[in-house]
Structure 1
Amino acid sequence: MAWNTPGGNKGGQGPEDNRRGPFGSRGGGNGGGWGGLPGPLKDLFDGGILRWVAAAAVLLVLFSSFQLIGEQQRGVVLRFGQFSRILTPGPNFKLPWPIESVTKVNATEIKTFSIQVPVLTRDENIVNVSLNVQYRIDDPQQYLFGTVDANQVLEQSAQSAVREEVGRADLNAVLNNRGPLAVAAEERLQTLLTAFKTGLTVTGLTLQDARPPEEVKPAFDEVNGAQQVKERLINEAQAYAAKVVPEARGQASRARTTAEGYKQAVVSKAEGDGQRFSLLQAQYKDAPEVTRKRLWLETVQQVLSENRKVIGGDGRQLIYVPMTGDTRASTSAPAPVPNPDVVMPSLPGTTAVEASRDPGRPPMRNSIWIAAVVAVLLGLLGSVYVVREDQTAMVLNLGKVVRSDIKPGLHFKLPVVETVRVFDRRFQVLDTAPARYFTAEQKDVSVDFFAIGYISNVGDYFRATGGDPRIANARLAPIITDSLRNQINSRTLQQLVSGDRSELIAEQLKGINEAVAGLGMQMIDLRIKQVDLPTDSQVINDVYERMRAQRKQEAAKLRAEGEEQSLTIRAQADRDSTVLIAEAERDAQRMRGEGDAEAARIYGKAGSADPSFYAFYRSLEAYRGSMTDGNGVIVLDKNDPFLQYLKNDR
């Protein structure tokens, strides 16, 4: 057959042509579809690792572009280290890392800071004050990038504000009326936190307690005891007054009521007697003898019926009435009244690449290509650097400063020959140990202060300190200490404690900044945190002795005031009770007199119509009233007219 003829290749293609691919490249061997690339790179693509790298990059972009912020949080976004925006609670999207990064801040939690500090008052007494500060993060950007340690600044500023306000008050005001001091200290503290860019807001400041030092506590306890004695004496006197005055008021009311009753009774009786007499008088006019005889007999009958009778013959009528003693009810005085993380997928190893590597290619050639790629990548990375929002930077070219005070963001430099040094550009706190000074009156005091400043010139700062904060603080502290010493030496202790410290600070800042200009630093504030009396000085012992003497004097004064007020209250109560009773007796006598006068008028009016008959009638009433108690013995003569009808009926 024709197709069996040797050498009969269809189309004239030789064996070499059969190895080409559809796009003109070789289809066989190790070239594959990437035959035009260098060997090492062709090995990477033939092994499939690029696909894994691409997949991982896509996942990284997706995961790092999504950010979930909690309800209590705020997210601070930095783009190449420079502040961009604030993320609110909920899902948020951003540019993937490393373009943008997010720092979460808890912006709603109320935090608490408490401490007890000794304070000198305006009257040069010592008191231990317990303060409590509640605060939260109000500005996340300032909180992160305004001050190196916002919480430390809060603690230092709180002590300074409280000591300054308490130092302007007397000891008694601190012990007994701390509310206004706490309000003023809170306002001053918030002003400082705002000026120092802490991003914090004070929600409350309280001075929970104020106690004297242990060395003078017994003297203060004595004052407390004297205060209790004073209150006890006053309470006892008030209880006495509460008992005596109402009792006197009751007696006065009783006297008036009794007199009023007496008046009404006397007048009513007189009116009744007068009306009765007037009626009898009318009958008497009609039948004088009969009426007179009847009234007389009724009276004799009543008198004799209620007494024992003896009838004799001596012609005399004897009436014996035994006298009975009056009995008075004894009254006793009333008893006194008692008194999420992103996990990157793992990439497969390069085993496939190594397996597909052409074993006939020299290994040295592969290493050169790999080294070249790595060198290019390192060169690119070495040319880029990022300065964060809280940093500033400078660039050194072979050790020489060529650029300084570089702002936050993405920057470029020459690789290898140029290096970058970064520095913190936030406000920083210089807090040194307390130093001892002498005031104008040569009193030994210990003053503790803190200063707030920042790096104003990176080049000068680096040249002066080598970028070491410890060296900077060591050179800055003596400058501030010496400047303060001149001011403290010219002020008295009272001026230092209770005077306007802002004037002292303003005078110092200008000179301090002139002195530290060569350090590349700028101070914005200087705060006296504490003015104390050293424990090894005679001054503090003198203060303790004076405090003890003042407390003893106060205790004696309190006791004397208690006695005085007690006696005053008791005397006033006695006076009020005496006046109440006397006025009531006066009113009672007047009412009795009015009653007697009215009764006499009524009796006089009734009796004036017939004086003779009134005398007879009133005598009979007197007999009834005086001889009807049943205790008398009446002796009658047998010839008495009253007995005439016992002898005969004529």
Structure 2
Amino acid sequence: MAWNQPGNNGQDRDPWGSSNNQGGNSGGNKGGRDQGPPDLDDIFRKLSKKLGGLGGGKQSDNNGQRGGGSGGKLVGIVAVAAVVIWAASGFYTIKEAERGVVTRFGKFSHLVEPGLNWKPTFIDQVRAVNVEAVRELAASGVMLTSDENVVRVEMNVQYRVTNPEQYLYAVTSADDSLRQATDSALRGVIGRSTMDRILTEGRTVVRSETQRELDETIRPYNMGITLLDVNFQAARPPEEVKASFDDAIAARENREQYVREAEAYSNEVQPRANGQAQRILEEARAYKERTVLEAQGEVARFALLLPEYKAAPQITKERLYIESMERVLSHTRKVLVNDRGNSLMVLPLDQLMRGGQISGSQAGQKNTNLIKLPSSGSSASNDDSSSYSPSSIMDQRRANALRNDTQRAGRE
């Protein structure tokens, strides 16, 4: 008999002794090899009875029992299939850059790490939130400045989600809340600044102040986001007055250029002037020191001459006179001529030589530079005149002075 061949004329379907007869042993073993495998209809019928008696209850005849068995079998198959589908539908995958936020019956339960996970369908819900992507939010609009001008401003905010639970459930919409907070902070900063500052050098200040106010605004709400950067993209006047503002900006740039050129010229001239002033001061100090030292030297020299003057006043006077005339006449090219009498003739030879008005007789004497004076102590008449150079005159005067000193000393 085959493995699945029913025994006992269709009454025994269990090769291990299981029978559907009312009087037989339901758990007995009637013969081992002669019995077939368990009937699937039996299994589904029992399963349908356990699920609520959906087989239709007890039937009085065989036809009723066969109809109820078919209905229970179909319901059991559907139930098992539904359980399998329900269990299979609970598998899901969280990406590497995401975190899963699990809610059970609408209430937050836990966070799910990346990978393959399972959840009971219709009981838990999972929302994946990207925590590594950098998100951007643009804010723009026409705003009023502190000097009652209108300017159009555009700004871009970059942020990242750091707490998925707070990002989803702390506020109704974290993105909309951030957009409103950005607009509020930007309008507050623009309203405290002048238009010229916003359009020119104040862009960095506006950016930093806007980021600071935005961070202070969203911090109490715990929205689970972190600001990364605030970019001040554009600030321009309305189109109706754009041409006038362009002219004003060009004039301001020209002014800055002229100021820089003036500063460069000042930086070039000022050090030179300071150097000249310092040189003049140093020269003045040197002249002062030299004059003081020369005066002190003269005082010291006269202090040394004072005893000599007291001893021989006339001789000292004569000596001082001779030395002074020697210093004066040693630097001149003029010739003093005393032909007769005590009168002197001054011949400016340098001027005559430059003018080319020297006669032939004078040309023979142009390099002599002589002073004609009567020689003292000689028997020559006044008409006989000798020629002496200035140094010879000084030597003669010194000799006369020494002779007079000797004669005076002899008389004393």
Give the shorter-chain TM-score range.
0.5 to 0.7
Give 1:413-428 correspondences, 5 Å limit: none
Give the distance between the partners of 1:210 and 1:270, measured in 2 at CA. 76
In structure 2, distance between residues paired with 1:231 and 1:31: 107
Render the CA deviation track for 1:97-152: whole Å, top value 9, x for unaligned. Answer: 67545433122433122354333446653311011112222442354467786545
Q: Report which of the two structures shows the higher radius of gyration computed on alpha carbons.
A: 2
- Between the aligned partners of 1:39 and 1:180, the Cα distance in structure 2 is 73
Specify the alignment match of 1:73 in structure 2.
98
Alignment of 1:602-617 (within 5 A): none
Q: Is the 8 A contact 2:131 2:160 kept in 1?
A: yes
Alignment match, 1:263: 288
Residue of 214, 221, 224 corresponding to 2:249: 224
State the 1:17 CA deviation. 12
Q: How far apart are the structure 1 equivalents of 2:240 and 2:143?
A: 15
Contact 1:127 1:171 in 2 (8 A): yes
Selected match of 1:126 from 150, 175, 190: 150
Aligned equivalents of 1:313, 1:165: Cα separation in 2: 106
Q: Compute the displacement of 1:221 (Å).
A: 1.4
Which stretch has the larger CA shift, 139-148 or 99-108?
139-148
Aligned equivalent of 1:23:
17
Gaps of at least 5 residues in structure 1 are 1-13, 44-49, 326-629, 646-650
Q: Measured at CA, do residues 239 and 321 of structure 1 come closer, stay the same or move farther in structure 2, by a change above 3 Å? A: farther
Deviation at 1:261, TM superposition (A): 3.2
Q: How does 1:110-509 map to 2 (within 5 A)?
A: 110-121=134-145, 125-141=149-165, 143-144=167-168, 150-151=174-175, 154-155=178-179, 158-159=182-183, 162-163=186-187, 166=190, 171-172=195-196, 174-175=198-199, 176=202, 178-179=206-207, 182-183=210-211, 186=214, 190=218, 194=221, 200-235=225-260, 253-283=278-308, 303=329, 314-316=340-342, 318=344, 320=346, 322=348
Question: Quick one: distance in 2 between partners of 1:169 and 1:307?
Answer: 84
Kindly state the Cα deviation for residue 307 of structure 1 after the two structures are TM-superposed: 5.9
Q: Give yes or no for the alignment of 1:32 onto 2:37.
A: yes
111, 121, 130: which is aligned to 1:86? 111
Cα offset for 1:219? 0.5
Task: Tell me if structure 1 keeps the 8 A contact 2:101–2:165.
Answer: yes
Structure 2 residue runs without a partner (length 5+):
1-7, 20-29, 48-68, 71-76, 352-366, 379-392, 400-412
Cα separation, partners in 2 of 1:125 and 1:310, compared to 1, 3 Å: closer
Aligned in 2, Cα 1:306/1:140: closer, same or farther, shift over 3 Å? closer
RMSD: 5.6
1:291–1:135 Cα change, 3 Å: closer
Contact 2:339 2:372 in 1 (8 A): no
Equivalent position SS for 2:136: strand
**Is the 1:318–1:635 Cα contact (8 Å) retained in structure 2?**
no
**Aligned partners of 2:233, 2:177: CA distance in 1, in Å?**
22
Judge conservation of contact 1:135–1:203 (CA < 8 Å) in 2.
yes
Contact 1:65–1:95 (8 Å) recurs in 2: yes
| 1:505-546 alpha-carbon deviations (Å, 9 max, x no partner) | xxxxxxxxxxxxxxxxxxxxxxxxxxxxxxxxxxxxxxxxxx
- Cα distance in 2 between the residues matched to 1:291 and 1:164: 99
Could you tell me how far apart the structure 2 residues matched to 1:19 and 1:258 are? 138
Query: Residue 84 and residue 640 in structure 1: after superposition, are their counterparts in 2 closer, same or farther (change >3 A)?
Result: farther
- Looking at structure 2, the residues matched to 200 and 211 of structure 1 have their Cα atoms a distance apart, in angstroms, of 30
Mapped to 2, the partners of 1:137 and 1:305 lie a distance apart of: 100
Match of 1:104 in 2: 128
Contact 1:69 1:90 in 2 (8 A): yes
Q: What is the rounded CA distance, in whole Å, between the counterparts of 1:267 and 1:168 in structure 2?
A: 68
Instruction: Give the deviation of 1:212 after TM superposition.
Output: 0.7
In structure 2, the partner of 1:636 is: 373
Q: CA deviation at 1:162?
A: 3.5
Cα distance in 2 between the residues matched to 1:35 and 1:240: 108
The verdict on how the C-alpha distance between 1:272 and 1:133 changes in structure 2, with shifts beyond 3 A counting, is same
CA shift in 2, pair 1:229/1:268, >3 Å: same
> Residue 178 of structure 1: SS of its match in structure 2?
helix
Q: Secondary structure at the match of 1:109?
A: coil
**Contact 1:316–1:636 under 8 Å retained in 2:** no
- Quote the Cα distance in structure 1 between the aligned partners of 2:241 and 2:104: 60
| Equivalent residue letter for 1:126 | V
Contact 2:136 2:158 in 1 (8 A): yes
| Length-normalised TM-score, structure 1 | 0.37
Q: Is the 8 A contact 2:92 2:117 kept in 1?
A: yes
User: In the TM superposition, what is the alpha-carbon distance from 1:320 to its structure 2 partner?
Assistant: 2.7
Q: Aligned pair in 2 of structure 1 residues 324, 259: CA closer, same or farther (>3 Å)?
A: farther
Tell me the SS of whatever aligns to 2:295. Answer: helix
- The CA distance in 1 between the partners of 2:36 and 2:181, in whole Å, is 73
Question: Structure 2 CA distance, aligned partners of 1:16 and 1:241?
Answer: 124
1:228-278 Cα deviation digits (max 9, x unpaired): 344345455556666776666556555544443333323322222232233
Instruction: Classify 1:310/1:116 alpha carbon distance in 2 versus 1 (closer, same or farther; 3 Å).
Output: closer
- Counterpart CA distance in 2 for 1:284 and 1:167 is 96
CA-to-aligned-CA distance 1:196-236 (integer Å, 9 cap, x gap): x9654544444343111232111011211232344345455
Paired residues of 2:338 and 2:344 also in contact (CA < 8 A): no
Q: Give, in whole Å, the separation in 2 of the partners of 1:219 and 1:20.
A: 103
Contact map agreement 1:317 1:637 (CA 8 A) in 2: no
Indicate conservation of the 8 Å contact 1:69/1:75, yes or no. Answer: no
Is the Cα contact below 8 Å between 1:107 and 1:136 reproduced in 2?
yes
Amino acid at match of 2:373: L
Q: Contact conserved, 1:125 with 1:171, CA < 8 A, in 2?
A: yes
Could you tell me whether the CA contact under 8 Å between 2:99 and 2:164 is conserved in 1?
Answer: yes
Q: For the structure 1 residues 632 and 272, does the alpha-carbon distance in structure 2 shift closer, same or farther, using more than 3 Å as the test? A: farther
TM-superposed CA distance for 1:631, in Å, is 10
Three-state SS of the structure 2 residue aligned to 1:21 is: coil
- Give the Å deviation of 1:168: 6.8
Tell me which residue corresponds to 2:54: none
Q: Which has the higher contact order (CA 8 A, sep 6+)?
A: 1
**CA-to-partner distance for each residue in 1:442-492, whole Å, 9 max, x for gaps?**
xxxxxxxxxxxxxxxxxxxxxxxxxxxxxxxxxxxxxxxxxxxxxxxxxxx
